[in-house]
Homo-oligomer: A and B are copies of this chain.
Amino acid sequence: MTLLESILAYNKDFVGNKEFENYTTSKKPDKKAVLFTCMDTRLQDLGTKALGFNNGDLKVVKNAGAIITHPYGSTIKSLLVGIYALGAEEIIIMAHKDCGMGCLDVSTVKDAMKERGVTEETFKIIEHSGVDVDSFLQGFKDAEENVRRNIDMVYNHPLFDKSVPIHGLVIDPHTGELDLIQDGYELAAQNK
């Protein structure tokens, strides 16, 4: 059975057996927060459970490395819409130790692309269209530094309400242990 077939078969039973009743919650986040973190497999459940969050507590935004790429990209958009339209009042930005984006070798990724059919010509066209592929793919050196950089981008964003606390955390993907990088209340208070 393919992955898609198994998903659809499972889903038919899930709906038929009314298992969704275990997950009923409202549209608004009960804990009034948006959590932005990494897509890492190990954080699939740990990323919320180690913080004490249950189903329905949060908006959850995730990408590779929990890196904010652009001030007008989809991550900032998600945080702004969460705050201004969808009931969130605090932001939690959480990177993690031992992150795939923390040790990503861009040249190895590009080699994998080439092996699987992306031609030198394509790379050339992209580069000459103004895209720096190395910058596009790059990760970060230090999880804490990444969190600080993200907070700086959100806090100083022209459309951000600086009275909204942005907390910064780094999680250990093995134990779930949190390091506090930034107390968002302190940051928000500086501006009151």
| Interface bin, chain A | 35 or more
Whether A100 lies near B86 (C-beta < 8 A) is yes
What is the CB-to-nearest-CB distance from A14 to chain B, in angstroms, rounded to a whole number? 5
Copies in the complex: 2
Proximity bits, A9-53, B CB within 8 Å = 1, else 0:
011001100011001111111111110000111101110111111
Whether B45 lies near A64 (C-beta < 8 A) is no
Question: Contacting A63 at CB < 8 Å: which of B19, B63, B64?
Answer: B63
Interface residues of A (CB under 8 A from B): 2-4, 6-8, 10-11, 14-15, 19-20, 23-34, 39-42, 44-46, 48-53, 55-64, 67-70, 72-75, 77-78, 80-82, 84-86, 90, 92, 98, 100-101, 104, 108-109, 112-113, 116-118, 122, 125-126, 131, 133, 136-137, 158-159, 161-163, 165, 167, 173-178, 180, 183-185
